[in-house]
């Protein structure tokens, strides 16, 4: 029969189309356009395959886009979809969606392209397309086969030839079967038994096909022996394994499959579905297949449904469901040398009662439901899960028989059949077809009903191959579900899966965003998927935000992804976030907020939780509402303002996160050659916001986004309790708008933050004036200070101004410094000096000293001292000026006494405090709080007082701190002019300083003899010693009194004399010195005991001064006369003693000539050599003695006299120490000798 004839014989004439529904009244027609309801969710769309089919359909299967229908008379029909554009009948009104059903697709019915009459002798009960070889895609490509179940049993046929390949033994009168593609096993329910088979063969030569496992067809006696052993296997189990049951190439217990021996071909010139075109070589025929019977299980009742759950089998009867968990296979030696694999039979375990369901219904979840694949709904099933229908619901059971999910699917009535396809469960009810999502997070809205009554047979098309996407699914109808009426005269419908985008948007419109996002995740990764996910998450964010779940809303917003927003420089993230908080965006920046995102127009932003209606904004249109929220409810938990403030508290961390990423991206762009971010962001943002139309062309510049973001952050922080976050934000690089931020900060009384903002934007005059008011006149401010500014009254405000000046970049100008130096120095001189010294770079002394002369002349000396120590001032330029200041203070101390000394000590101690203070933090308010400055100032003041108390005992031998510093400067500085100092010294004042200056000028005596005689008179030098070496040493030091000597120079000049002095030890410490010092100490102690402020130096100072003045006056008046008299006397004495000296010289020479007088010369070099020899001799003797004692001790120890040996060893050790010390002395002598010879 030709193809056309077969189609005509199999399909009756189409029934006339039903009458169209009456048109609605005009009023309804006018109202309908006004109501825009969200689209109803639809997972599938209904498509007509066949109308009013005249015969009863028993089974359906899908292969290569063709629908295979098995009829009750044993025939097999191939339905194919007509080409695009073919005309068809009017759509069936019953096929459309009611109550969420899918819409009717206007396509013509399918055509029967092939009919196999008498394919089976009895009614076809079940069909399934499987892979002919293990590992192939079932039903999706070449090498497919058809499993067919009739009352005669289960058989396997090739496709497309429909050639019988194998038949399952003992499967007659079977009611259902289930195929396990992974194990290539079939479970067949026949009466009260469930038998499992393994499909083997297909590999040729009897070697066993793929998926056969360890068993295979084997020829010879071994196969017969194994078959005989299987017949007596324990527990009724069947045998499969190393032994076969027949000769190679012959299927065991093979029966010819019912049907025609060769399939008929369509009469048209086109080949049958799946067959090669004419002129091409036909495919290679299949090798013989056969079913190996594995195990037989007995059920209490006849099983009518069966399904695989992993390695287990679930069977359903009219009353209950049973779980069959196969026992592990066992290797049994049935004959000597013959080992077979046994599958013991187990008793099925009761699982669930059937309840009110008319018949058992099972559906194994496909793998794509677990992996998240498939074209439709949310995944979430698992491989090995089975959907079991009970009453009016379906529960999910795993391989262990336990519920694999907490929930269950509910149907409106008990289903007659269920099937899982594309992530959805399709249930055939008596009155309709219902669809539910298999997702674990299935949304209640992900449900659909189709008014298709009487449907009893269903089949699912294979899912689209991975990576094909929706286009591949639509082109081949992949993932579709076919349903047919079980009664004659019914129809066949195809349920095509709706594209995931449409499903996701429908769920989102219903408020089920989690399910919509799960659907979007099933799309292939790419811009299309990211755009859909971003759009859904943005709508989800709006919904959560409107519901008050701000944290969850911001989490969804942060996960948005868009090709235009993937770069942080685009700024889409923060602007989308700020769209939810329009009060945080000033009016002039609101045009920068995005109008579109992810290719779609954005809806109006939802109202903030608890936001007050009509919340306008002051301060440039953006600061009033947040400030109002802060005042009304930021500190409480009740009221709309409190909820809005809480929402802003949640948004701040997200804004900070966006800011961090944006700053990093801008820094990278600046390094790559772009514009560096700066304070110009506000101007750029305002310019971008002021464009025509209120929307910037393209993406806003990063600087503009940064300005909007930082301004919004500042406004949001102002609504929260003060934690220092706003101050930390403004003390670092920021882009906050000065106008809006300044007005908001001033309105909130946050003047510390305002000062930081003014400093960063270069408004230094305004910032310093603000700090002056905070410190000196806080009552003049319009709003009472709040936050960190509340602690800036008084001294903390002064130090805040100092830090303002010292952290400025560039350094303040002299005009700015002088404008504020008066109140700074008046409030705290140390603070004013710190401002001059710590600017970067420090101000020049030439600019600072005139300011100090006008505002604080008494502290010029403190500034000079600190500036010289810190390297700010040059010693050559300012040592003379500093000495003059010290000299004036020292003279004042001479006249004023102890009070002047204490006063000057306190003042001069400020320089020590200034130079010792650490200067590391470059922020206006370190640690983010103003009180830290007050603590630093208090600590500095305490240090200054302590230094003042201690300064009374320092320097100058009790002459006051100023005198001590003057003395130290005179001794150390080489830039002091002695003549200028002597000119400033009044007669008799500061004799020590005068003597030092005279020494600088060389006006001191160098009479070595007088020095030696004076020291001998005092008892410091012993009279009987060698005075020649002492005289030479003292003369050398007098000659070099004005300069620092090096060791090498001293040893080279008087080294031998120093050695002689060391040997003779002529110097003594007289006992009278000890008694005098003891008397002074006793007097000092008695005086301090009686009067704590008593100082011996002050009491003795007038007498010493008078004595020194008298001596100095006498020396000045009689200096010239004394010098003349001395020179005349010396000349006269020399002339008178000349004859006597000549006679004495002549007498001495005669005595020498006669030998009566011998010259005695001290050989210092010989003395050193003799001393070295003596030391070496002692070392040698100690070495010999020590070695001898060591030998004796060793012998005593070997002889067992431990005590004597220890004593001898100790003596030897002591001698060894003496040897080492002697060698050290010799080494020092050698070094000294070497220095002398240089």
The predicted-structure confidence for 210-248, as pLDDT tens digits, reads as follows 333 333 333 333 333 333 333 333 333 333 333 333 333
Among 498-502, 895-899, 1128-1132, the least confident range: 895-899
Would the pLDDT of 200 be above 60?
Answer: yes
Angle, alpha carbons 1021-1023-1026 (nearest 5°):
85
Would the pLDDT of 564 be above 80?
Answer: no
| Rounded distance between C-alpha atoms, residue 965 and residue 1207, angstroms | 62
What pLDDT, in 10s, does the model give residues 370-403? Answer: 544 444 433 333 468 999 999 999 999 999 999 8
Mean pLDDT of the chain: 74
| Rounded distance between C-alpha atoms, residue 450 and residue 434, angstroms | 6
HEC string of 676-720?
CCCCCHHHHHHHHHCCHHHCCCCCCCHHHHHHHHHHHHHHHHHCC
| Rounded distance between C-alpha atoms, residue 845 and residue 853, angstroms | 12
pLDDT at 951: 39
Return the CA Rg of the chain. Answer: 56
Among 515-524, 564-573, 586-595, 739-748, the least confident range: 564-573
Do the bridges between strand 417-421 and strand 424-428 make them parallel or antiparallel, or are there none, so unpaired? antiparallel
Would the pLDDT of 722 be above 80?
Answer: yes
pLDDT at 1158: 67
Provide the CA 348 distance to its chain's centre, in angstroms: 55
Would the pLDDT of 1166 be above 70?
Answer: yes
What pLDDT, in 10s, does the model give residues 107-117? Answer: 677 889 999 99
What are the structure tokens assigned to 682, written together? Answer: 């506000």
| Rounded distance between C-alpha atoms, residue 629 and residue 538, angstroms | 26
| Rounded distance between C-alpha atoms, residue 898 and residue 652, angstroms | 62
Cis geometry, peptide bond prior to residue 160 (ω within 30 degrees of 0): yes
Angstrom CA distances, 610 to 467, 614, 651, stand at 47, 12, 15
% residues pLDDT > 90 (the chain): 17
Count of Cβ atoms closer than 10 Å to residue 808 Cβ: 19
| Rounded distance between C-alpha atoms, residue 380 and residue 437, angstroms | 9
pLDDT at 132: 80
Would the pLDDT of 501 be above 80?
Answer: yes
Angstrom CA distances, 638 to 633, 635, 647, 929, stand at 7, 9, 13, 30
pLDDT at 119: 92
What pLDDT, in 10s, does the model give residues 21-31? Answer: 444 444 444 44
pLDDT at 296: 92
Would the pLDDT of 1039 be above 50?
Answer: yes
Among 41-45, 341-345, 582-586, 865-869, the least confident range: 341-345
Hey, is 188 helix, strand or coil?
A: strand
pLDDT at 16: 37
Following DSSP, what letter does each residue of 985-1040 receive, concatenated?
SPTTS-HHHHHHHHHHTT-S---HHHHHHHHHHHTSB-TTS-HHHHHHHHHHHHHT
Hey, is 298 helix, strand or coil?
A: strand
What pLDDT, in 10s, does the model give residues 457-485? Answer: 999 988 766 544 444 444 446 789 999 98
What pLDDT, in 10s, does the model give residues 749-786? Answer: 999 899 989 988 888 889 888 988 888 888 888 999 98
| Rounded distance between C-alpha atoms, residue 1198 and residue 1195, angstroms | 5
* Residue 148 · residue 120 · CB < 8 Å: yes
What pLDDT, in 10s, does the model give residues 938-980? Answer: 444 344 334 334 433 333 333 446 777 887 787 777 777 877 8
pLDDT band at 1092 (very low <50, low <70, confident <90, very high): confident
| Rounded distance between C-alpha atoms, residue 504 and residue 497, angstroms | 13
pLDDT at 897: 66
| Rounded distance between C-alpha atoms, residue 1044 and residue 1, angstroms | 132
Among 581-595, 608-622, 752-766, the least confident range: 608-622
Find, among 384, 389, 322, 381, the residue nearest to 362 by Cα.
389
| Rounded distance between C-alpha atoms, residue 887 and residue 882, angstroms | 9
| Rounded distance between C-alpha atoms, residue 850 and residue 1114, angstroms | 44
pLDDT band at 429 (very low <50, low <70, confident <90, very high): very high
pLDDT band at 363 (very low <50, low <70, confident <90, very high): very high
Q: Which residue has the tokens 């003014």?
A: 758
pLDDT at 322: 95
Domain ranges of the chain: 1-13+41-117+415-508, 120-275+288-349, 565-603+617-748, 1078-1128, 1164-1237
Query: Between 132 and 44, whose confidence is greater?
Result: 44
pLDDT at 88: 53
pLDDT band at 653 (very low <50, low <70, confident <90, very high): confident
Would the pLDDT of 136 be above 70?
Answer: no
What are the structure tokens assigned to 717, written together? Answer: 């922080």
pLDDT band at 262 (very low <50, low <70, confident <90, very high): very low
Query: Between 22 and 1235, whose confidence is greater?
Result: 1235
Mean per-residue pLDDT for 274-285? 46
Please name every residue paired with 292 in a beta bridge, in sequence order, or none if there are none.
198
pLDDT at 1202: 86
* Residue 419 DSSP label: E
* Residue 719 · residue 624 · CB < 8 Å: no
The sheet carrying 312-316 orders its strands as 305-309, 312-316, 320-324, 349-353
pLDDT at 556: 84
pLDDT at 929: 47
Rounded to two decimals, what is the model's pTM?
Answer: 0.60
What are the structure tokens assigned to 825, written together? Answer: 């120095």
* Residue 1172 DSSP label: H
Find, among 86, 143, 133, the residue nearest to 109 by Cα.
86
pLDDT at 944: 38
* Residue 494 · residue 484 · CB < 8 Å: no
Mean per-residue pLDDT for 1025-1043? 73
Among left, alpha and beta (phi > 0; psi -120 to 50; other), residue 452 is: beta
| Rounded distance between C-alpha atoms, residue 783 and residue 788, angstroms | 14
% residues pLDDT > 70 (the chain): 69
Would the pLDDT of 1133 be above 50?
Answer: yes
Mean per-residue pLDDT for 435-454? 83
Q: Which residue has the tokens 């968990």?
A: 325
* Residue 594 · residue 576 · CB < 8 Å: yes
Dump strand ranges (E) for 310-412.
312-316, 320-324, 330-335, 338-342, 349-353, 362-364, 386-390, 393-397, 409-410
């Amino acid at each position: 029969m030709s193809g056309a004839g077969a189609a005509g014989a199999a399909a009756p004439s189409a029934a006339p189309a039903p009458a169209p529904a009456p048109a609605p009244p005009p009023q309804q027609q006018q109202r309908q356009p006004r109501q825009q309801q969200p689209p109803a969710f639809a997972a599938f769309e209904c498509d007509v395959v066949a109308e009013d089919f005249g015969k009863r359909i028993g089974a359906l299967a899908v292969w290569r886009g063709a629908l295979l229908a098995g009829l009750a008379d044993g025939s097999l029909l191939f339905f194919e979809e007509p080409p695009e554009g073919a005309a068809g009948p009017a759509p069936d009104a019953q096929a459309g969606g009611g109550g969420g059903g899918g819409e009717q697709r206007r396509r013509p019915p399918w055509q029967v392209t092939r009919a196999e009459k008498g394919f089976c002798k009895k009614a076809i009960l079940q069909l399934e397309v499987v892979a002919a070889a293990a590992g192939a895609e079932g039903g999706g490509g070449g090498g497919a086969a058809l499993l067919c179940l009739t009352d005669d049993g289960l058989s396997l046929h090739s496709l497309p030839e429909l050639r019988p390949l194998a038949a399952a033994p003992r499967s007659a009168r079977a009611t259902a079967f289930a195929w396990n593609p992974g194990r290539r096993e079939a479970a067949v329910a026949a009466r009260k038994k469930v038998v499992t088979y393994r499909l083997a063969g297909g590999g040729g030569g009897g070697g066993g096909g793929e998926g056969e496992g360890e068993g295979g067809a084997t020829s010879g006696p071994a196969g017969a022996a194994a078959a005989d052993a299987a017949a007596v296997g324990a527990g009724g189990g069947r045998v499969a394994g190393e032994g076969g049951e027949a000769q190679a190439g012959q299927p065991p217990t093979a029966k010819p499959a019912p049907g025609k021996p060769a399939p008929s071909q369509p009469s048209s010139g086109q080949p049958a579905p799946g067959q090669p075109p004419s002129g091409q070589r036909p495919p290679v025929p299949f090798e013989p297949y056969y079913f190996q019977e594995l195990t037989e299980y007995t059920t209490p009742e006849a099983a009518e449904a069966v399904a695989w759950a992993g390695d287990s089998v679930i069977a359903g009867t009219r009353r209950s469901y049973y779980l069959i968990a196969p026992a592990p296979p066992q290797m049994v030696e049935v004959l000597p040398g013959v080992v077979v694999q046994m599958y013991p039979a187990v008793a099925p375990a009761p699982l669930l009662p059937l309840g009110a369901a008319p018949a058992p219904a099972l559906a194994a979840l496909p793998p794509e439901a677990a992996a998240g694949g498939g074209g439709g709904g949310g995944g979430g099933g698992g491989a090995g899960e089975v959907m079991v229908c009970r009453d009016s619901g379906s529960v999910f059971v795993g391989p262990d028989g336990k519920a694999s999910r907490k929930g269950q699917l509910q149907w409106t009535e008990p289903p007659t059949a269920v099937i899982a396809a594309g992530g959805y469960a399709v249930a055939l009810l008596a009155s309709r077809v219902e669809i539910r999502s298999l997702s674990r997070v299935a949304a209640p809205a992900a449900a659909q009903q189709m008014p298709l009554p009487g449907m009893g047979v269903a089949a699912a098309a294979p899912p689209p191959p991975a990576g094909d996407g929706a286009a591949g699914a639509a082109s081949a109808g992949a993932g579709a579900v076919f349903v047919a009426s079980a009664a004659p005269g019914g129809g066949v419908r195809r349920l095509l899966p709706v594209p995931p985008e449409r499903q996701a948007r429908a769920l989102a419109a219903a408020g089920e965003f989690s399910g919509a996002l799960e659907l979007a995740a099933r799309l292939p990764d790419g811009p299309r998927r990211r755009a859909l996910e971003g759009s859904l998450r943005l709508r989800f964010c709006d919904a959560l935000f409107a519901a008050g779940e701000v944290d969850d809303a911001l989490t969804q917003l942060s996960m948005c992804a868009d090709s235009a927003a993937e770069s942080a420089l685009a700024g889409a993230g923060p602007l989308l976030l700020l769209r939810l908080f329009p009060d945080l965006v000033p009016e002039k920046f609101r045009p920068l907020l995005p109008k579109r995102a992810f290719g779609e127009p954005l809806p109006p932003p939802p109202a903030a939780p608890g936001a007050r209606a009509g919340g306008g904004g002051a301060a440039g249109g953006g600061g009033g509402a947040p400030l109002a929220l802060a005042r009304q409810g930021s500190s409480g938990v009740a009221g709309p303002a409190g909820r809005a403030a809480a929402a802003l508290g949640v948004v701040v961390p997200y804004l900070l996160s966006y800011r961090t990423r944006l700053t990093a991206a801008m820094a990278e762009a600046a390094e790559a050659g772009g514009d560096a971010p700066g304070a110009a962001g506000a101007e750029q943002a305002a310019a971008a916001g002021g464009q025509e139309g209120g929307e910037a062309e393209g993406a806003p510049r990063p600087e503009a986004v940064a300005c909007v973001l930082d301004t919004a952050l500042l406004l949001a922080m102002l609504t929260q309790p003060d934690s220092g976050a706003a101050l930390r934000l403004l003390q670092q690089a920021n882009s906050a708008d000065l106008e809006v931020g300044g007005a908001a900060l001033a309105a909130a009384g946050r003047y510390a933050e305002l000062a930081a903002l003014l400093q960063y934007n270069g408004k230094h005059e305004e910032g310093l004036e603000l700090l002056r008011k905070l410190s000196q006149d806080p009552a003049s401010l319009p709003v009472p200070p709040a936050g960190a500014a509340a602690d800036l009254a008084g001294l903390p405000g002064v130090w805040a101004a100092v830090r303002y000046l010292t952290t400025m970049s560039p350094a303040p100008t002299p005009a700015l410094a002088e404008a504020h130096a008066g109140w700074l120095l008046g409030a705290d001189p140390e603070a004013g000096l710190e401002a001059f010294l710590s600017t970067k770079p420090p101000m020049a002394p030439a600019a600072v000293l005139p300011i100090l002369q006008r505002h604080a002349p008494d502290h010029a000396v403190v500034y000079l001292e600190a500036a010289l120590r810190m390297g700010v001032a040059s010693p050559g330029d300012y040592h003379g000026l500093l000495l003059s200041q010290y000299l004036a203070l020292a003279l004042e101390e001479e006249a004023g006494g102890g009070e002047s000394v204490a006063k000057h000590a306190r003042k001069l101690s400020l320089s020590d405090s200034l130079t010792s203070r650490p200067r590391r933090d470059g922020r206006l308010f370190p640690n983010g709080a103003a009180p830290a400055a007050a603590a630093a100032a208090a600590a500095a003041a305490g240090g200054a007082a302590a230094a003042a108390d201690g300064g009374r005992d320092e320097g100058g031998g009790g002459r006051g701190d100023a005198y001590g510093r003057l003395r130290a400067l005179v001794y150390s500085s080489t830039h002091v002019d002695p003549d200028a100092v002597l000119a400033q010294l009044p007669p008799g004042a500061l004799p020590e300083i005068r003597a030092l200056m005279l020494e600088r000028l060389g006006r001191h005596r160098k009479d070595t003899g007088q020095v030696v005689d004076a020291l001998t008179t005092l008892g410091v030098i012993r009279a009987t010693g060698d005075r020649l070496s002492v005289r030479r040493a003292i003369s050398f030091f007098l000659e070099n009194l004005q300069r620092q000597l090096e060791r090498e120079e001293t040893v080279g000049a008087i080294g031998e004399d120093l050695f002689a002095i060391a040997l003779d030890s002529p110097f003594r410490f007289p006992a009278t010195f000890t008694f005098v010092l003891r008397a002074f100490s006793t007097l000092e102690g008695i005086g301090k005991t009686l009067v704590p402020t008593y100082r011996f130096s002050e009491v003795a100072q007038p007498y010493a001064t008078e004595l020194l003045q008298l001596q100095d006056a006498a020396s000045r008046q009689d200096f010239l006369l004394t010098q003349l008299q001395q020179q005349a006397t010396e000349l006269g004495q020399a002339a008178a003693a000349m004859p006597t000296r000549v006679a004495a010289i002549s007498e001495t020479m005669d005595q020498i000539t006669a030998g009566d007088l011998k010259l005695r010369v001290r050989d210092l070099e010989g003395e050193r050599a003799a001393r070295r020899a003596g030391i070496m001799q002692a070392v040698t003797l100690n070495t010999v003695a020590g070695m001898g004692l060591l030998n004796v001790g060793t012998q005593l120890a070997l002889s067992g006299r431990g005590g004597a040996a220890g004593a001898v060893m100790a003596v030897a050790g002591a001698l060894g120490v003496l040897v080492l010390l002697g060698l050290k002395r010799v080494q020092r002598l050698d070094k000294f000798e070497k220095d002398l010879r240089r």
